[in-house]
Amino acid sequence: MLLGAKHAGTVNGIELHGPTYRRFQRAMQPFHTPGRQLTHGDFFVLLPKLGRYHVILTNPPYIRHHSIPPRGRLRMQAALESASVAINGKASAWAYFVLSSTQLLVDGGRLAAVLPTELLTSDYGKGVMTHLRERFSRVRLVRCDRTVFPELSQRVLLCLADGLKKPNGKLAECLFDSLQSQASGQTGHFGVTDGMLLAERLDTLARLTAGSDLIVLERSIAAAPGVRRLGDVCKPSIGYVTGDNDFFHLTASDIEKETLNKKNLVPALARAKDVQGIVFDHANWRSLQDQERPCWLFRPPSTADKAVRRLIARGKRHGVADGAKCSSRKSWWRVPLGSVPPWFLVYMGPHVRIVRNAAKVQVSNSFYALRPLRDTSTNSLAVASLTSAFRISVMLESRELGGGLRKLEPSDAARLLVPACDIDVLDVRQVEHLVEAGDWQSARLAADDLLLRRRLHWPSDLIASLQRACLDQARAQ
């Protein structure tokens, strides 16, 4: 570590977390950095008193916007307002740190930050990226090939910005590589120089890092017969949000214990792990009841029943009513619901797929509700989501989290390519049996044969290329 070795008197450090601050102090002792320059405190409280620096190194907290304490959020927002910088109100804490840090640099200064991949995948992250390209002459992103913070389930990037300047209407070119490719001397460029706009390449990190063969395959899928964007067929929207799942989701024994009438309850699907296949029917839902899973949503139409009033009073005593979601409702105990969706999307994990909602239950925010925009076969979408074509689209549209986990936002889901057509119920059952048995690869091949080859008559070489790409991606993960 060279920081402060020659100019210890010019180094300042700030850390809020006590144990981390003490480790920081010990780490800086060999460089004789004066103790008064290593501050235990809140960066945003100290910000007005700080000077200007040539270099800033930061590993900011990855706290989600809904977990930032209200007073802390106000300080963060005030810091940006004073610097005339705007940001989406749903931004995580790290974004405020990065934008505020640029205000502390001298002309020509440099910034290095360890940031989550949300920099490239979230709406507010794109705003931060644009700000960096406006204010610096060069921006380089280095993807960490391995999980750095396994306890956070986050993939990270090193953001290296050099040459702070006044905005001049031009965006700096951005370089992208990984620790592995950097070691081998290979660097990828993105921006307008390679013929593709930055915004198109930054939709997902997967698209940015994908090989050209995969991008060509995606274009072939988009041009193939029967393919549409999911958002052209139905509207993906987040399932209902309770504000406190433990309070609002009840098991059969909970209902009996509370002596609740069924008119105060709604059949629901609360957790993604409670869905095993591509069809969720009444038998599946009754099985959840028998297993004492929380598959009822407490949603009384009024407080007329004594049992309802008693449960509401208990929730209020335990602070449920004071939560962010609940406190924003007119009646905190009445969860907003839309119409029952005919399908829903499992949007996270290794088996992203569309499920037909034959049980006609409400679905929580563990799923995206899919409501049709036009007449569509209820059978075909579920099977289509098992095809190799859909899987390739998921790979390129999803956002990578830690541990190989991938997630789709509703806007990502709307862009998914779906090869759909009318199919027979018996064919659906054959594929469904393979999924229920846990044989996902055979189910994918069966879906390819049923939809892509027999129904849509796609070329055999295209189908084979898609299947090879899926196998390659599975091995890579």
Structural domain boundaries of the chain? 42-202, 203-237+341-477, 242-335
CATH 3.30.200.20 fits 42-202, yes or no: no
Please give the residue that has the higher pLDDT: either 390 or 179. Answer: 390
Looking at residue 143, what is its pLDDT?
79
Predicted TM-score (pTM) of the model is 0.76
| pLDDT over threshold 50, residue 187 | no
For the chain, what percent of residues have pLDDT higher than 90?
59
Helix 70-82 vs helix 93-102: crossing angle, to nearest 10: 30
Question: Tokens 């280095």 sit at which residue?
Answer: 142
Give the pLDDT band of residue 298 (cuts 50, 70, 90). Answer: very high
Q: Where are the beta strands (DSSP E) in 80-149?
A: 105-116, 136-143
What distance lies between CA 3 and its chain's CA centroid?
34
Looking at residue 64, what is its pLDDT?
86
Planar angle of CA 74, 162, 91, nearest 5 degrees: 25
CA distance 337 to 240: 6
Q: Is residue 470 classed as helix, strand or coil in its secondary structure? A: helix
For β-strands 174-178 and 156-164, DSSP reports them as unpaired
CA distance 138 to 140: 7
* pLDDT tens-digit series, residues 312-322: 999 999 999 99
* pLDDT tens-digit series, residues 373-431: 776 666 689 999 999 999 999 989 887 765 557 789 898 999 999 998 888 777 788 89
| pLDDT over threshold 90, residue 281 | yes
Q: Element (H or E) spanning 17, and its range?
A: none
**Quick check: 458 and 452 in contact, CB under 8 A?**
yes
> Which residues have C-beta within 8 Å of that of residue 325, sequence separation ≥ 6?
241, 242, 243, 244
Task: Report the amino acid identity of residue 186.
Answer: Q
